């Protein structure tokens, strides 16, 4: 009985990928995030939406330790952010990743290989396991045949897949996507949704995705985070009142037109 309780507790701790308590972030005295608390559990797919300047990217950057926080606690994989060093467990596709220097001379394979670098492997050449990981990631995103091509010669959708391959090459447990589909046409967004489904199936990955594509978020995510200085969390299922959630967060009325067939078309 006691053993079972202990095991359950350990499972419960292992299950928590991110724990945030009372997070407040300020830029030049202005509060960008105000007393935010939430948890992300293993295999969650979190869709993060909100108005421009609402603090979506700031939230991701605080979790990833890229910016200092004013107050609050952040724990990653059960460890305080200050003590957390296993960043190989996190794959990250930054905002505007595909808008890199257009004349940068590097092949697809060279860029994806950069995903193998970790703090523990600094100064070491790529191992055969790393090389296998690169090939596998390229196969997953369907770019293996284009691995020797110059990255700037790829289309927008292909470039985006390069960055996803780079993010997943170390087989991360958490994939963080910051507006990964912004500026891409609807066909590429469709491919992206399919790729995300494949990754979830193949790698049982936890995903946090910032997006302005509400229909994409509603199709993919099981939880919705609306960030507008404060955080509004909602479970996503057929009973979710999307209009109500968005009204609370954005402070204005929305008529949410959501086509059932669209979800089916891009979700399956």
Partner 1 sequence: MADFADLALMFGYAFFQRAFIAGICAAILCSVLGVFIVLRRASLIGEGIAHLSFGGIALGLVISIYPFYTALVLALFGTLAISFLHRKRIVYSETAIGIIFSFGLALGVVLASISGGFNVDLFSYLFGSILTVSEEDIYFIIILTLFVLGFVILFYKEMLHITFDEQGARLSGVPVDIFEIVFNLLIALCVVVSIKIIGSLLVSSLLITPAASAMQFSKSFKGTISLSLLFGIFSVFAGLVFSFIYDIATGGAIVLLSIILFTISAITTKIYKSFSNQIKNKIIT
- Axis-axis angle for helices 128-140, 186-203 (nearest 10): 130
Member of 17, 18, 64, 208 binding partner 1 (CB under 8 A): 64
Burial class (CB in 10 A: 0-12, 13-18, 19+), 133: buried
Q: 3-class DSSP state for residue 172?
A: coil
Q: 3-class DSSP state for residue 145?
A: helix
| 260 near partner 1, rule: CB under 8 A | no
* Least distance to partner 1, CB of residue 165, Å: 13
H/E segment holding residue 2: helix 2-15
Selected range binding partner 1 among 37-45, 142-150, 212-220, 248-256, rule: CB under 8 A: 142-150
| 83 near partner 1, rule: CB under 8 A | no
Cα torsion through 220, 222, 227, 230, rounded to 10:
180
* Least distance to partner 1, CB of residue 120, Å: 8
H/E segment holding residue 61: helix 56-63
* Least distance to partner 1, CB of residue 189, Å: 23
Q: Give the whole-angstrom CA distance, residue 112 versus residue 135.
A: 9
Tokens of 19: 């724990």
H/E segment holding residue 49: strand 45-49
Nearest in space to 200 (alpha carbons), one of 184, 186, 185, 219: 219
| 94 near partner 1, rule: CB under 8 A | yes
* Least distance to partner 1, CB of residue 181, Å: 19
- Cβ nearer to partner 1, comparing 95 with 240: 95
- Axis-axis angle for helices 186-203, 260-267 (nearest 10): 60
| 81 near partner 1, rule: CB under 8 A | no
* Least distance to partner 1, CB of residue 160, Å: 14
Q: How many residues bind partner 1 (CB under 8 A)?
A: 35
Tokens of 5: 């309780």
* Least distance to partner 1, CB of residue 249, Å: 27
Q: Give the whole-angstrom CA distance, residue 204 versus residue 197.
A: 10
Binding mask 109-128 for partner 1 (x = CB under 8 A): -xx-xxxxxxxx-xx-xx--
* Least distance to partner 1, CB of residue 3, Å: 37
Selected range binding partner 1 among 35-43, 100-108, 225-233, 239-247, rule: CB under 8 A: 100-108
Binding positions for partner 1, 192-251, rule CB under 8 A:
none
| 171 near partner 1, rule: CB under 8 A | no
Footprint on this chain of partner 1 (rule: CB under 8 A)? 64, 66, 85, 87-88, 90, 92, 94, 97, 100-101, 103-107, 110-111, 113-120, 122-123, 125-126, 148-150, 153, 166
């Amino acid at each position: 009985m006691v053993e079972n309780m202990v095991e359950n507790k350990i499972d419960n701790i292992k299950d928590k990928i991110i724990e945030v308590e009372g997070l407040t972030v300020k830029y030049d005295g202005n509060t960008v995030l105000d007393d935010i608390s939430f948890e992300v559990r293993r295999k969650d797919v979190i869709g993060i939406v909100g108005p421009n300047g609402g603090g979506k990217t700031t939230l991701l950057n605080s979790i990833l330790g890229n910016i200092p926080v004013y107050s609050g606690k952040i724990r990653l994989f059960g460890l305080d952010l200050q003590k957390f060093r296993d960043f190989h467990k996190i794959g990250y596709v930054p905002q505007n990743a595909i808008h890199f220097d257009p004349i940068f001379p590097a092949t697809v394979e060279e860029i994806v290989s950069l995903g193998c670098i970790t703090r523990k492997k600094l100064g070491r050449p790529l191992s055969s396991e790393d090389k296998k990981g690169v090939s596998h990631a390229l196969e997953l995103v369907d770019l293996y045949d284009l691995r020797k091509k110059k990255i700037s010669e790829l289309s927008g959708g292909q470039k985006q897949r390069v960055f996803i391959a780079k993010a997943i090459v170390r087989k991360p447990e958490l994939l963080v996507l910051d507006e990964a589909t912004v500026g891409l046409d609807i066909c590429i967004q469709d491919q992206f949704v399919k790729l995300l489904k494949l990754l979830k199936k193949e790698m049982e990955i936890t995903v946090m995705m910032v997006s302005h594509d509400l229909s994409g978020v509603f199709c993919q995510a099981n939880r919705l985070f609306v960030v507008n200085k404060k955080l509004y969390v909602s479970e996503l299922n057929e009973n979710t009142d999307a209009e109500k959630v968005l009204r609370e967060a954005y402070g204005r009325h929305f008529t949410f037109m959501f086509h059932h067939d669209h979800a089916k078309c891009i979700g399956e």
